[in-house]
Amino acid sequence: MRLLPFAALTAVFPVVAMAADPHSYAQPDQVRVTHLDLDLTMDFAKRELAGSATLKLDWKEAKARSLVLDTRDLTIGRVEGVDPTGKTSPLPFVLAPRDKELGSKLTIQAPSHPASVRIVYTTSPQASGLQWLTPAQTADKKQPFMFSQSESIHARSWVPLQDSPAIRFTYDAHVSAPKGIRVAMSAINDATHPLDGDFRFDQPHPIPSYLLAIAAGDIAVKQTGPRSAVYAEPSVVGKAAHEFEDTEKLIETTEKLYGPYAWGRYDILVLPPSFPFGGMENPNMTFATPTVLVGDKSLVSLVSHELAHSWSGNLVTSAAWRDIWLNEGFTTYVQGRITEAVYGKTQADEEALLSARELQKTIGEMPENAQKLAPDPRGVGADDSLSSVAYDKGSWFLRTLEQRFGRDTFDAYLKGYFAHFAFQSIDTETMFAYLKANLLDKYPGKMSEAEARAWIWQPGIPKDAPLPSSPRFDAIDKERSAFLAGTLDASGLDAKGWNTQEWMYFLDRLPDVTPLDRIRALDDAWHLTGTPNAEIGMRWYAHAIAAGDKSVWPAAAEHMTRIGRLYLTTPLYRALAQTPDGLAFARATYAKAKSGYHPLTQQAVERILADGPKKTK
C-alpha cells in the first residue's frame, strides 16, 4: 500500500483539533508553525549554538495579535517579521521570567500576521537538551562531541518554537561547524559529505519538535544496507555495524507487516556512553546507546523498537505527553512482532514476559492514576509521563487485542490505523473512536467496549490479561527456587547457555534483599562482578548492594561512571542510597562521574541523593 503524501493525507483526513497542551505555552488555535528554517553555528569552546530560526506561519485566527513560542535559557538577540518577498521588519517581543519546567514564554507582537518570523538567538552552555563533551569524554578522545535530546520538552532549550507534540512542521537547516567534525541531524544524512564545516539538511516530512535532533563529533560511517548505515566514533563503528547488520532485514520485515517505510533512509548514530536513554527514534537517524553493543545481537531489540517508531510515534504521534502510550505502547508491540519475525518467537516471548512480570511487580506501588494508559490530568512533568505503564501495559493491551481478534485481523487493522493517521498527532480519544469503529464494532463478540475502556482508563492490569509461555523461563524459576532454598549450588545452575534475557529474568526475580551468602555464591560461580553486559551488570550490582556486599562497590562505581544511561545507572544510586555508608559512597561516585553525565541524568541522580536513605525505596 502506497502512503499518500502529507498534503493528500490532510485533505482526506483533516488534522484533529486538540485541547491545549499543559506543557507548552504555544497557542496553535491562533497560529501554527508549519516549517522551520535553521541557520546555526556550532562553537565547542563556548558550548553554544548561535544563529537564527525562521518560522513559517499559518495564522488561524484573524484577531490574533501575537505569536507565542516556547524557550528555555535562550538569549534572544532580535526578532523580525519576514514577508513573502523576503523583506524584514523588526517585531517587539517579551521574554517572560523562567518557569522551572516550562522555561520562558516568548511573546512576539505580530498584528500584521507576517508570513514568517525570524528569531536570532544563542543557546546556553547549560541547555537541558544539549550535551557538550570534551575529547576526554568520548571513546576515541580526539575530538569534542555534542548531541541533543529533545524529548520530552527540551527542544525549546536549543530552538525557539512551539514545543508540543501536537504541532508538526517540516524543516531545513544550515549548520556551520569546525572542519573535521561531522554533523548529523534527524533528516536525510549524506554519508559521503566532506568534513568541510558546512552542512545542510532537509526534512520534508512534518515532525513534532521532540524529534528535532542534532549531533556532531568525530563520526565515521559504515553502510549496513541499501538504505541504512551506522554512524559512530571510528573505534566503535565496526563493532556497531556488525551488531546492527540485520537492519535492512528489520526494515523489510516491518514493511511486510505495516506498510512501506515512509522516511527514505534509516541510519543509526551510536553516541558516547553518556547518552541518557537506550535509543531515541529521531527520524532518519536513531540515536542509540553503546550499551547494546554486546557482540551477540541479544540486545538489538532496541533497534527493532526505534525502527518501529517510524510507524508508531513518528508517523502517528501522540498529541500530548498524557497520551504517550500511543507512541510507546504501540511501538513496544510492533517491536515484539519484528523480533519474533527476525530472531524467533522464543526471544520475543521472553522479552514480553520480562516486561510483563516487572510491571506486575511494580504497578501496585504506583498511584492509581499513574496506572492508567490515559491518566486524568495529574500535574506531572512531561518527562515523568514516560513510565513502564505506557510501554508495557500499552503493548500488553495490543497483544490482548491480537489474541482476541486473531493476528491476521489485527495486523490489517493496525496497518490501516497507521495509514489513516499518517503524519498526524492524535489523542487517546481519537484512537479509541477509530478502534471502536474498525475493530470492536466490526467484529462483535471478540472484546466489548467496556473491556477495552478498562484497559485504557482504569488502573491496574485486567485479571484475564494473557501472557506468553516460556519453558526456559519456567525452568529458570525452578532453578532459582532451588538455589535460594539451598538445595542447588550456584555452580549447578544450568546457566552456561543462558542468553542476556534469561540472565535478566533470573536476576529480576531474586528477592529484593537476597541473602549475602547466596549473592557471594553466585559471584564465585559465574563471575558477574565486572561483566561487560550492562543489562546484567545493573541487575547484579543492585542485588549485591542490597545484600550488603561492599566488595562489589568499586565495580559498581565503574559501571555508574562509565554509563550515563538513566535506566542502567539510577538503580545503583538508589540501592546505595538505602544506607548512610552507601549514600556517602554514591555521592563520592557522582562527584567523579557528574561531568560525563547528560543533564537529564544529573537531575535524576541529584534527586536520589537529596532524598537520603529513608526516602528512596
Active site residues: 306, 391
Give the DSSP H/E element, type plus range, for residue 94: strand 93-95
Rounded Cα–Cα distance for residues 304 and 291 (Å): 15
Residue 317 identity: T
**Surface-to-core class of residue 416, CB atoms within 10 Å of its CB (0-12 exposed, 13-18 middle, 19+ buried):** middle
Rounded Cα–Cα distance for residues 182 and 596 (Å): 21
Q: What is the DSSP string of 143-193?
A: S-EEEE--TTTTGGGTS-B---TT-EEEEEEEEE--TT-EEEESS---TT-
Taking the CA of residue 603 as centre, how many other CA atoms within 13 Å lie in the half-sphere pointing to its CB? Answer: 12
**Surface-to-core class of residue 63, CB atoms within 10 Å of its CB (0-12 exposed, 13-18 middle, 19+ buried):** exposed
Rounded Cα–Cα distance for residues 501 and 535 (Å): 9
Q: Which set of grid coordinates corresponds to residue 143? A: 575530538
Place of cell 544511561: 565
Nearest alpha carbon to residue 521 among 543, 478, 489: 489
Residue 595 identity: S
Rounded Cα–Cα distance for residues 157 and 299 (Å): 32
Distances 102 to 70, 117, 501 between C-alpha atoms, Å:
8, 22, 38
Give the phi and the psi of residue 48 in degrees, each rounded to 5: -150, 155
Is 279:302 a contact under the CB 8 Å cutoff? yes
